[in-house]
Structures are given as C-alpha cells and as structure tokens.
Amino acid sequence: MNYKKLSVIAIILFFFVACKKESPIKESIDEKNNSLELLGDSISYIIEGQKIILNDKAVRSMLNAKANRKLDSVVNYVEYSSGDQDAVMFGRTFKFSGGKNGITIMFLKRYTKNETNNAFFVPLNKLDLFSIGEHRYAIDFSKTNTQNGIAIELSGNYYGFQTFSYSSLLYFAPLKAELQSQSKFEITNFQMLKSGKYLLEAKFNASVYHGDGSNIKKIENGYLRLRLDTESLYF
C-alpha cells in the first residue's frame, strides 16, 4: 500500500469520525425540539403565600374597545363616551381556570384601523403583541385605554382583583402608576417550533386590587407558557 492510498483512507476516517462526533449534538437538538412540541399552556404564581398552578389549556378570545376614551355625557347615571375614530384598542386574552382559582392574561395595544384587516380589527402583524422583553401594565385599561401593555384579572377565590381600573370615567379617579412601580412582566422566550406553532414563555409579578386601587395584594414568582397557533383566528 503506497502513501497516496494511506492518505485517502486517513481522510475518509477523519470525516467518518467527525460525522460521528456531530450526530449526538444533532440528535440532542432534535430531541429538544421534539420535547418543546409536547409542551402545552401553563401558568403558576404565588398570592398570599399560596402557590397556584393551572395546566389546563387556556381559553382564547379577542377584544377590541374604544381607544383614548373620553366622557361625553351622563344621562340618568349612565355614562356615554367616545374615542378616537381612526384607532382601536385590540387585545388577545388567555384565561386559565381550575378548582377555585382562575386568571386571565391580556396582551393589549392600540392600533390605527389601517393597521388592522377585518371587522374584528385584528392587527396585520399577528405577532406584534408578543415581542421579547419587558411589557408594562396597562393600568388605564377599560377606563381610557391609552396605554399598551398587559392586564391581569383574577377570578374564583380572588374575584374582583385586577391590575387595571374600573371603567367609570366619572365616579372613579384614574389609578396612580405607583401601584405597579415594583411590578414586571417580561416575555423571556418566543420561538417558532418545527410544527409552525409558537411557544411563548414569560415571568411576572404584579399588584392586584379592586378597580379603585384599594385592597392591594401581590402576585409573585409568576410563570406563563402559551402555545400559539397563528393559523387560528383566536391563536
């Protein structure tokens, strides 16, 4: 056997060993991706020392409301209001429930109507609400609807506690931003899976209270995971 043949054999062996070294890495990546496909909706948080974990699939819905809402008149204690004619407050909501506890997470943003595409005022950019990073709490949601961000509403044992205002423009003063000064909602992961669906993960804490800002309670160590399918109108 001459040196040329030995060189060819050495090169073949080198590539064989290199491929063999790479395959476990590729397999581990595939295994990780496959395991992510199996993950479903989940939320956990602590309130008043009680850890609540809800793993049932979140109920999805959409909302739209007047943006930059203003009081026009009051007739027999009924408030009549108007908002920007060319804008809408759009939101996607995810409600978890189980046993005696429930929580709804709302992702909210004002859009011009030109940025939406149908009677539901769904944004043309479907994923705009879910950018990675911190999102503030929209404490004037349901009242004046000027702020983009997150809103949380509790049900069950904590019915009536929320991160936002009562809707009345006349009878309740606007909430102070200081109520959420120590709060944080951060989307830490948002990725497309092999199936074409998306996986969202977020961590959060918040103050919840009645809509006038009274009776404050703290949500701590919050974790949210959502599986989103953009082929569905309701995700």
| φ/ψ of residue 128, rounded to 5 | -60, -30
Between the CA of residue 17 and those of 9, 20, 28, 31, what are the distances in Å? 12, 5, 18, 22
Please determine, for residue 204, whether its predicted confidence score (pLDDT) is greater than 80: yes
Instruction: Supply the pLDDT for residue 9.
Output: 44
- Please say if the pLDDT value at position 225 is more than 50: yes
Q: Which residues, listed in sequence order, are joined to residue 90 by a DSSP beta bridge?
A: 64, 109
Give the list of residues 6+ apart from residue 214 with CB closer than 8 angstroms, or none. none
Mean pLDDT on 120-139: 96
Distance CA 122, CA 63 (A): 9
- Secondary element (H or E) of residue 29: helix 3-37
Query: For position 119, what pLDDT does the model report?
Result: 82
Burial tier of 14 (Cβ tally within 10 Å: 0-12, 13-18, 19+): exposed
- Does 10 have pLDDT greater than 50? no
Helices then strands, each counted (H, E), the chain: 1, 12
